[in-house]
Chain A
Amino acid sequence: MFPSKFDYFRAETLSEAVDLLARYGDQGRILAGGQSIIPLMKLRLAAPAVLIDINRIREMEVIQEGNGHGLRIGALARHHHLEVRRWPASLASLGDAARVIGDPQIRNVGTVGGSLAEVDPAGDWGPVMLSLSAKVKAISSRGERIIPVDELFKEAYTSSLKEDELLREIEIPIPADRTGTAYLKMERKVGDFAIASAAVQVSLSPDGRCQDIRIGLGGVALVPLRPRRAEEHLQGSSLDHQVIVEAQELVQQDCEPFADIRGTVEFKRHLAGVLFRRALGIALQRAEGKEVETVHV
């Protein structure tokens, strides 16, 4: 099938995009990679009157590290760019997630910003960005707004971006030394969204205790979720077996999964706990300098 009719505008620069959004944002949508919106339009589940194509704004594709600003990922960075980039242990979950999104063709075209703004309950970037304390920068004709990523996720498939706002880039703060990260996703088949997924960022103090921990869960609520009770339980702990088992239990309790074709409530809840524990294990190994793969195929 094919989409219903729409007016198409192409922005060649950021300021053109901002102008177009100011004029048409109420009737239109941004076309980034289109790997979410075009399938929806083909099934006529979405029928925007206007599409604003931003793919020519090359500066939005840039991934920039350093300068004391942490990592800045342009909203148009394609999933593939993050898949092939070498990441340190403290940002390895970005590579883990990039590798399991969709399939090669989707990764070539789909974008990090587009995917985040889609707020799919089982999307991959949401849990990872939550675990990395990411913020997004939104721009409009009214100025700039920095939004912590947990405030970006308003509802399933609904971001808190205003109609005239463009998600410009994602900012990730520089992690502390001795930080390891990991993202694990369980899917029914290749290319699928997660049944459940878990992202972990853990920082170790010099004596090996848990200095800081952040967990992001996917597929177990209407939006990506941070299980804060589990985080608090692990904070400052020795990260021994018992503490981790207790944290796993708290993760499972704090999930709010809904049953769907991918799994029952019980299965998703169970899976979230298991994936959290495995992701924590990998993140800890990486924090200690080991190289660990999360995707074996």
Chain B
Amino acid sequence: MSRHRVKMKVNGLDYEEEIESRLLLVHFLRDNLGYTGSHVGCDTSHCGACTVLVNGVSVKSCTFLALQADGGEVVTIEGLAQGEKLHPIQEAFWNNHALQCGYCTPGMVMSALFLLSNNPRPTEVTVRRAIAGNLCRCTGYQFIVDAILEAGSKIEAK
């Protein structure tokens, strides 16, 4: 059986579609559901620009079948802001100039979200380890690290 029905909640909304079993989660999100914020940046599962949360856990959606998320809950970058109000991590990225071309940014933010939801006050070393699966060609990472540290302290302060 090379076609299957898949059901999942994405950013709080329920979706159900018939798909090929080989359809990767990133392509399901981008092409079937229109959530183009998760990016495809490599062929080799290195870059992490496709990172989303599946059942609360960060996953490279290019290395994950849509069917593996069947029955589950997915959060993409589109699920963070509430209308016009940015998530604290997004605000911190803005304030700290933590993006230039923006291609790696959704993946970086989702990895940051996974880190901060488990470890609200990480050290700088911990932040660097937490984004080890996300490559950036523009920034040199320092401002991304600063942004995540700032976001951590802001979120915890709430």
Contact = CB atoms under 8 A, between A and B. Distances in A.
Interface of A: 1-10, 31, 34-35, 38-39, 41-43, 51, 53, 55, 102-106, 108-109, 190-191, 297
B44 A39 contact: yes
Given A3-B22, A5-B20, A7-B2, A104 B130 contact: yes
Contacts, number: 93
Nearest to B2: A5
B1 A35 contact: no
A55 B63 contact: no
Contact of A104 (B22, B65, B114, B125): B114
Contacts of B51: 105
Q: Which of A8, A43, A191 has its CB near the most chain B CB atoms (within 10 A)? A: A8
Interface of B: 1-2, 4, 20-24, 27, 43-46, 48, 51, 57-60, 62-65, 67-68, 111, 114-115, 125, 128-130, 132-133
Given A7-B2, A34-B68, A191-B132, 7 more contacts: A8-B4, A34-B64, A38-B63, A39-B44, A103-B48, A106-B63, A190-B132
B133 A102 contact: yes
Contacts of A51: 21
5 contacts: A34-B65, A41-B22, A104-B114, A104-B133, A109-B60
Contacts of B58: 104-105, 108
Nearest to A38: B63
A76 B68 CA distance: 14
Contacts of B59: 105, 108-109
Contacts of A55: 68
A3 B112 CA distance: 29
A190 to B, nearest CB: 5
A10 B111 CA distance: 28
A7 B21 contact: yes
Nearest to B111: A104
A32 B34 CA distance: 28
A222 B47 CA distance: 28
A191 B133 contact: yes
> Which 4 residue pairs of A and B lie closest in terms of their CB atoms, listed nearest first?
A103-B133, A8-B21, A3-B22, A105-B133
B2 A297 contact: no
B68 A39 contact: no
Contact of B132 (A7, A104, A108): A104
B90 to A, nearest CB: 20
Contact of B21 (A6, A39, A43, A105): A6
Contacts of B111: 104-105
Nearest to A8: B21
Contacts of B1: 7-9
Contacts of A191: 46, 132-133
Contacts of A190: 132
Contacts of B132: 103-104, 190-191
Contacts of B125: 297
B158 to A, nearest CB: 24
Contacts of B115: 104
A108 B61 CA distance: 12
Contacts of B60: 105-106, 109
Contacts of B24: 2, 38, 42
A102 B132 CA distance: 9
Contacts of A34: 63-65, 68
A42 B58 CA distance: 20
Q: Which of B20, B21, B62, B129 has its CB near the most chain A CB atoms (within 10 A)? A: B21
Contact of B129 (A3, A106, A297): A297
Nearest to A296: B125
A53 B22 CA distance: 12
Contacts of A4: 22
A34 B64 CA distance: 7
A39 B45 contact: yes
Q: Which of B2, B22, B23, B64 has its CB near the most chain A CB atoms (within 10 A)? A: B22
A122 to B, nearest CB: 16
B22 A43 contact: no
A2 B27 CA distance: 9
Nearest to B129: A297
A223 to B, nearest CB: 23
